[in-house]
Amino acid sequence: MSNQTSIGFIGLGQMGAPMAERLLAPDIRLLVHDPRPEAMRPFTARGAIACATPAAMAAEAQIIFTCLPSAEISEAVAAQLTAGPALRIYAELSTIGREAVARIAALLAPHGIACVDAPISGGPAGARAGTLAMMSSGPPEAVAALRPWQLRIGRQVFVLGEQPGQAQVMKLVNNLLFAANVTTAFEAFAMGAKAGLDADAMLAMVNAGTGRSMVTEQVMEEVIAGRFRFGATVAILDKDVSHGLAEAASLGVPMWTLEQMGRLWRFAMTQGNSAEDLTTLARIIEGWAHTSIRRPTAAE
């Protein structure tokens, strides 16, 4: 159909797949790529086109979104897109840090491809519900052109500037706050549990008071219920905290509190928890405190 826009999506993982699903629409010719063929099958079954390589996608897609696990992978993928005759906008959804996005932008610019730094926030649940907060920085025309498609994926777009990398800094600010809120909530609730306070009573009170946060509203229930399935891994939080602390160091901003918080995520990684849900950190803190932040079961 001549009125379709060809859009590519690379990286169909825990976050990428639900975002790409929101681009399955009559006015979009969706192309997908993932190194795992099984990740592409649900999309091709619904009319998307599987591309064998990123380069093949760049030959057909005007816009390509990428959602990838590391800066190294994002840069390697971007390098394969430079010869694509159709590609005009590259949108980096991954959290890979300012310097990596700047390198990608510099790589693509001589080929007439605009790089829009476009990280997201809201977790897997937000990706599935279409409620993600979308960030954007880059050349104004490309940012404006990308915005309608971002709003197919998420709920709101925050424009942070005209330089790729500025949105990455905003994402790191957000994720440093989130990671710190997770660790402080787990420690504070462990103290309350050790003192004999009921977990549900603590949660209700905190969410009615000044200690409330997204963590107490959405994450703590996973711990109290014993499910430990918020949806993001320890490795993801450790990566984002590491990027954030590195960015702070490059800017000469002291991070006395957040550096200590970062050590907790690094410790969790060293204990073999990289692929575990981020709520696993609560188990570690419970072990140190010799307590349990849990709702009593019927048997109890």
Return d(Cα 125, Cα 127) in angstroms, integer: 5
**CATH code at position 83:** 3.40.50.720
Structural domain span for residue 223? 169-289
Residues 148 and 217 both lie in one domain: no
Question: What does the pLDDT read at residue 297?
Answer: 77
Question: What does the pLDDT read at residue 299?
Answer: 58
> Pick from 297, 287, 295: which is nearest to 190 by CA?
287
CA of residue 73 relative to chain centroid, distance: 15
pTM: 0.93
Return d(Cα 100, Cα 93) in angstroms, integer: 12
Question: What does the pLDDT read at residue 300?
Answer: 54
Q: Is 171 noted as a catalytic residue in this protein? A: yes
Residues in the chain: 300
Residues 127 and 203 both lie in one domain: no
pLDDT digits (tens, 9 = 90+) for 2-24: 689 999 999 999 999 999 999 99
Q: From the candidates 171, 172, 233, 244, which is the catalytic residue?
A: 171
- 82 within 8 A of 108, measured Cβ to Cβ: yes
Residues 127 and 184 both lie in one domain: no
Question: What does the pLDDT read at residue 296?
Answer: 86
> Pick from 115, 253, 240, 246: which is nearest to 171 by CA?
240
Question: What does the pLDDT read at residue 1?
Answer: 45
Question: What does the pLDDT read at residue 287?
Answer: 97
**CATH code at position 282:** 1.10.1040.10
Residues 203 and 240 both lie in one domain: yes
Return d(Cα 4, Cα 9) in angstroms, integer: 16
Return d(Cα 282, Cα 284) in angstroms, integer: 5
Over the chain (300 residues), the average pLDDT of each successive run of 10 is: 87 96 97 97 98 97 97 97 95 96 98 98 92 98 98 97 97 97 98 98 98 96 96 94 96 97 97 96 98 82
